[in-house]
Structure 1
């Protein structure tokens, strides 16, 4: 599967092709692991396309993603491709939502998420990280507050620091997160 997938994503993808490849990968043994591996491809465009497919796998087949939660989580902090980070951030934001599947919640309860929180804070304060990724970071950190109570205070302070440095879209997201955290 990995070699065929690599061949398929060497060229520009349309949304329908991404959906098709996500369908295929979600139904084949170890294909999701292969997609995760391809997100780290040295060619940034290939890594981005693989991450786009990975996001679609989780969105459309979250239960098929469950066996690979540890593999994804263990590699989250290693993702340096900014285009792939956007998809990684969205996936983690979805994984940490209150309405995530119970199997995902069970995994996150038992998994040491400290490195995910630390990486997310690092991405949030990195000047080179685009606002779309930072938006996902805000969601992730707010979602981790129940498991890591110290995150709330740190997140509030970080948002205060960043709110004047970032775009108006970031400000709108901060407003939403403050409401989620029930702060002013």
Structure 2
């Protein structure tokens, strides 16, 4: 598939500022035929452009989650290919939001996550939680896995063990989120 060169050029001007990420997300929402290309860039580019695409996709998802629904299979199947830390963080956040919408539906549509999507998301989140990643994606993965554990009984005991094993060597932020999730796990027994 030939990627949209105009989209690639636009992503080149996106930086970490909220203003530019929001502006590009609005542009994507106004140009919906760019969304498949944006997702492809997120999942297949292991460079600054790929990370910027991930930042933008997070904002697109926060503004209009249902836009991602037709692409959930591609999105979830591609998560394991991510390498850049700045790509993993926004994608882990999207996973957390997807799981929250699926298991605790509030306003908006419930994501059409198939069982295989949820299982794959659990695998990827465990990989990110155990791997040498920064605290933010690990924290998002803790919450995602806790929610997925409502359906898959094997997840919560594994999550508890991973959190206890890594607690002492985790940063203060890691420990704070781990404490929170461990308390939730205790209540759910």
Q: Do the two structures share a fold, i.e. TM-score over 0.5?
A: yes
CA-CA distance at 1:32 after TM superposition: 1.6
**Maintained 8 Å contact 1:32/1:68:** no
1:131 aligns with 2:135: yes
> Which residue is equivalent to 2:5?
3
Q: TM-score normalized by structure 1? A: 0.88
Q: Decide which moves more: 87-96 or 33-42.
A: 33-42
> Which residue is equivalent to 2:127?
122
The separation in 2 between residues aligned to 1:41 and 1:74, in whole angstroms, is 12
The separation in 1 between residues aligned to 2:45 and 2:74, in whole angstroms, is 19
> Which residue is equivalent to 1:143?
147
- Are residues 2 and 182 of structure 1, via their aligned partners in 2, closer, same or farther at CA, if it must alter by over 3 Å? farther
Q: TM-score normalized by structure 2? A: 0.86
The separation in 2 between residues aligned to 1:41 and 1:69, in whole angstroms, is 16
In structure 1, list runs of 5 or more residues that go unmatched: none
- Are residues 102 and 137 of structure 1, via their aligned partners in 2, closer, same or farther at CA, if it must alter by over 3 Å? same
Question: What is the aligned-residue RMSD (CA, Å)?
Answer: 2.1
The separation in 1 between residues aligned to 2:41 and 2:25, in whole angstroms, is 13
Match of 2:159 among 155, 160, 169: 155
The separation in 2 between residues aligned to 1:149 and 1:108, in whole angstroms, is 18
The separation in 2 between residues aligned to 1:103 and 1:12, in whole angstroms, is 30
The separation in 2 between residues aligned to 1:150 and 1:43, in whole angstroms, is 32
In structure 2, list runs of 5 or more residues that go unmatched: none
